[in-house]
Amino acid sequence: MIEASIRSEKLGGTFTFPGTELNVNRLGYGAMQLAGRDGSKVVWGEPKDVPGALAVLREAVEAGVDHIDTSDFYGPHVTNQIIKQALHPYPENLVIVTKVGAKRGPNAEWPHARTAQDVTDAVHDNLRNLGMDVIDVVNLRLGGFSGPEDEPFEEPLTALVELRQQGKIKHIGMSTVSAEQVAEAQKITPIVCVQNFYNVAQRGDDAFVDALAAQGIAYVPYFPLGGFSPLQSGKLDEIAAGLGATPIQVALAWLLHRSPNMLLIPGTSSVGHLRENLKAAELKLSAETLAELDSII
């Protein structure tokens, strides 16, 4: 128990998804980068170094990471199969969160997949490739690549509710959505987390983060390090140098400071970068430093 407490402190403390038994360390792991790349086709096919990908997952869990974010359209299927190969049978405390609502086309495009049948098929694909009987949380992915869009979602969300009733999933979240869409979704089902594009330089969701925190709902920023366009800021570099840290560590530490409902899922295919990311939770930011970081936007 003492060892687990120390690990949690080193990983940003803990958070319990609302209305659930799921308690996780706030610094988790995003599995998207475990898939390969084929020229301009990103998150596509197997990685060049499969043993390296397995090592990253195993080290993450050994370090205390108990929240892994994934999707079966990463690869497609590849990332989930690697997770299964590395970690199955899964530790009892490991929370795996996946998402549905998109798929991969033959040229690695990301078309919508939001009919009831699409969602049902996607959940079953995740179950099969992860080797699970029930998934902890499934996020309904809406919107465009980096922002929400005004679109109907009752059909796919209702399909997720039915899958929960069938015992295939435990809880439901949403991704790339607005505050208004979450409010509408809550008329249909409880929402335990929201996963949107957000980082120290992309802060359009500031008010949304605070509103979700007031409800105890997790906010999970995707692309916390900028995604396919890494964060680049002279101010961020300057602050990091002054703290003896890397810009990535400062960006992650800022997110942990931002709000207690913030859960991080930085991704990497490198053990070295994984270790660097995990150390971010131990970085203390003064009020002066936080004010400097606020000036980046």
Active site residues: 74
Residue 265, helix vs strand vs coil:
coil
Quickly list DSSP for 51-69: HHHHHHHHHHHHTT--EEE
Q: What are phi and psi of 182, to 5 degrees?
A: -65, -40
Tokens matching residue 15:
């958070």
Quickly list DSSP for 85-110: HHHPSPPTT-EEEEEESB---TTS--
Return d(Cα 61, Cα 6) in angstroms, integer: 15
Q: What are phi and psi of 218, to 5 degrees?
A: -70, 140
Closest C-alpha to 30, from 76, 78, 65, 75: 65
Closest C-alpha to 153, from 141, 145, 165, 162: 141
Closest C-alpha to 252, from 287, 226, 289, 277: 277
Please name every residue paired with 195 in a beta bridge, in sequence order, or none if there are none: 175, 220
Residue 76, helix vs strand vs coil:
coil
Closest C-alpha to 140, from 127, 125, 153: 153
Burial of 66 (0-12, 13-18, 19+ CB in 10 A): buried
Residue 194, helix vs strand vs coil:
strand
Return d(Cα 139, Cα 160) in angstroms, integer: 9
